[in-house]
Amino acid sequence: MDKLEVKHNPRSIINITDLTVEEIDHLIKTANDIIENPEKYQDICAHKKLATLFFEPSTRTRLSFTAAMMELGGNVIGFSEASSSSAAKGESVADTIHIVSLYADIIAMRHPKEGAPLVASEHSEVPVINAGDGGHFHPTQTLTDLLTISRKKGGLNNFTIGFCGDLKFGRTVHSLIEALMRYKGVKFILIAPPELRLPKYMKEKMNAAGAEWKEYEKLEDAMPDLDVLYMTRVQKERFFNEEDYVRLRDSYILTLDKLKPAKKDMIIMHPLPRVNEISVEVDSDPRACYFYQAHCGKYIREALILYLLGLK
């Protein structure tokens, strides 16, 4: 058989639920080993190529994928915006991915349209990792969050996490809740204005999973109970009038003063980028973990690349 015509069905990761709990635990274990023993992995992806196909802007995700592959000894090809690809000429996602998958061993793809990475995976010769598709899924951000919590809290069982801000449209919130619902003893505190509360379908999923959850409108009311605080941006474009936005935005700005009733070992997370929802004065607080969280993203992406390539 002509080698150029050989086809297979590669494993792709589009949503966090594509991974079992056992697989997530394996990825976290691998990421921790990479952190502790980087020299073991520095050549493991030699002669392998990652294609980063980013049809919309990205800082942390794109650069962490690039850094991850380079630290594994591999190479990186791709583009950082749609205008520098044939998409600008009208080429379909299916055709783009089919061609790129002939040149790379694995693909990380971000696209503004929900479902685009799924379509890509159906036309790819190699594994596709969804690096964010509109307001839909962002599984590697969720893996980043899970690694951060696991390292800082000693595991993924028996803690209380508070999500604050835009819980209605935040894809990172939905994905992390779906992942944590599968672990034992995780309690959820949902802090949001009525306009941006967690959607009904997500609450139904939590109820079906037997998850314990409460809703609050004020961050201060929930603060003493939290082991993890996951901040998100309140989005101005979701409000009908400026007054409501300003009132609610100001109530969700995390300051040192608002942290006074919090536990000394609580950790503060944020998927970034932030706007004004975490005051810069909080950056020096030992509980602030959002930059640490971004650093974890590189290692968990290394682990996922190795896993999908069958190297770990």
122-131 residue pLDDT tens:
999 999 999 9
Measuring CA to CA, which residue among 147, 229, 135 is closest to residue 188? 229
Q: Please write the tens of the pLDDT for every residue from 71-98.
A: 999 999 987 655 455 554 466 878 889 9
Q: Please write the tens of the pLDDT for every residue from 144-175.
A: 999 999 999 999 999 999 999 989 878 789 99
What pLDDT does residue 82 have? 53
Fold of 140-294: Rossmann fold (3.40.50)
* Average pLDDT value for the chain: 90
Greater pLDDT, 216 or 252: 216
Could you tell me which residues come within 8 angstroms of residue 44 by beta carbon, excluding any fewer than 6 positions away? Answer: 72, 73, 306, 311, 312
Q: Are the C-beta atoms of residues 34 and 90 closer than 8 Å to each other?
A: no
Q: How confident is the model at residue 67 (pLDDT cuts 50, 70, 90)?
A: very high
Asked, colleague to colleague, whether 3-138+297-308 and 140-294 share their fold, the answer is yes
Q: Report the run of H or E that residue 214 belongs to, with start and end.
A: strand 212-216
CATH no. for 3-138+297-308: 3.40.50.1370
Domain residues of the chain, as ranges? Answer: 3-138+297-308, 140-294
Q: Please write the tens of the pLDDT for every residue from 201-251.
A: 999 999 999 999 999 999 999 999 999 999 998 766 666 677 777 777 777
What pLDDT does residue 155 have? 97
Please determine, for residue 136, whether its predicted confidence score (pLDDT) is greater than 80. Answer: no
DSSP string over 127-192: -EEEEEETTS--HHHHHHHHHHHHHHHSSSSSEEEEEES-TTT-HHHHHHHHHHTTSTTEEEEEE-
CA distance 224 to 263: 6
> pTM to 2 decimals?
0.91
Question: Would you state the structure tokens that stand for residue 202, as one six-digit string?
Answer: 């997500």
CA distance 241 to 87: 37
Mean pLDDT on 119-146? 89
